Amino acid sequence: MTVRHRAAVLGSPIGHSLSPILHRTAYAAMSLSDWRYDAFECTEDGLAALVETMGAEWAGLSLTMPLKRAVLPLLDTVSEPAVQVGAANTVIFKDGARHGENTDVYGIVQALAEAGADSPSAAAILGGGATAASAVAALREMGLTEVTLAVRDAARAGETLDVAARLGVEVTVRSFDDALDADLIVSTLPSGAADALATHVARALPEKGALLDVVYSPWPTALARAVQKRGGTVVGGFPMLLHQAVRQVELMTGRDDVPVEAMRAAGEAEIARRSA
C-alpha cells in the first residue's frame, strides 16, 4: 500500500520512545494502511531544518524533550493550552500551515480521571521542569487555584512559576524535605530521582490520597510502592503517555474512534518486554 500520510516522533534521545508502538497500533486497528509513523533523533539545532523538509504527505509530529519549547517559533498557530504552558508536544500540518497543540495536559487529566483521582482538594508537584508546568495546567483544569511546588533548586523553576502566573494559580515553593499538605502528589522527577523521598512523600499523603508518578519504566518505582503500601491510589506515567498519544492520533487523523484499549495493551506489552 502506498504511504499517503506520514507522522513521526522527534526528540533526543528517541530510542526509548513508546510513541511508534502506540501510534502504529492505532493505525492498524483503524485500518489506516496508508499511514506511516517513524521516530527521528533530532536536537534543537536540527529541528528547523528537519521540519522544512516535510512535504504535503506529512500529517503531524509528536515532540519529546528538548523540542517542546524550541518548536514554538516554527509554528503558524498555537493552541491556547500550548501558549499557556509554553510548550507544544504536537504539530499538525494542515493546508500548508503548522499548528501547535499540547496534549500532555489532556494526558494528565485523563490518567487521573481514569483512576478516580481527578477531584483533589490540595495538590503538590515534585519538580519544576516542563512536565511540572503541564501538571500545573492540568490541576488548574481540575479546579485548583493553589498548588505546592517542591523543588531542589527554586531558581530553576522559573518557567513553571511563569506558567502558573498565566493560569492564575498561586504557587507555594518548598524544598523536598518540607511538609507537603496534599491529597494528590504529582511527581515529575526522572527515574530514580524520587527514590530517597519515597517514605517522606508517602507519609505526607492521607490514607486515601493519590500519587501520579510520571515514570513508566522501570515500574513500579520506589515512590509508587511506598504509596501503595499505605493504601493510596497510584497512577503511573504510562496512562498519561497513553492518553496524550490518543489525543494526538485524533488530531492527526481527524477521527474520534481511536482504539484506546488496543493502544494500552500494546504499550504495556512493550514495557513488559523491555523489563524482562
Specify whether the CB–CB gap between 251 and 6 falls below 8 A.
no
The residues with which 100 forms a beta bridge, in sequence order, are 78, 91
Catalytic residue flag (residue 208)? no
Helix axes 260-275, 237-253, angle to 10 degrees: 130
Burial of 130 (0-12, 13-18, 19+ CB in 10 A): buried
Burial of 159 (0-12, 13-18, 19+ CB in 10 A): middle
Residues with active-site annotation: 68
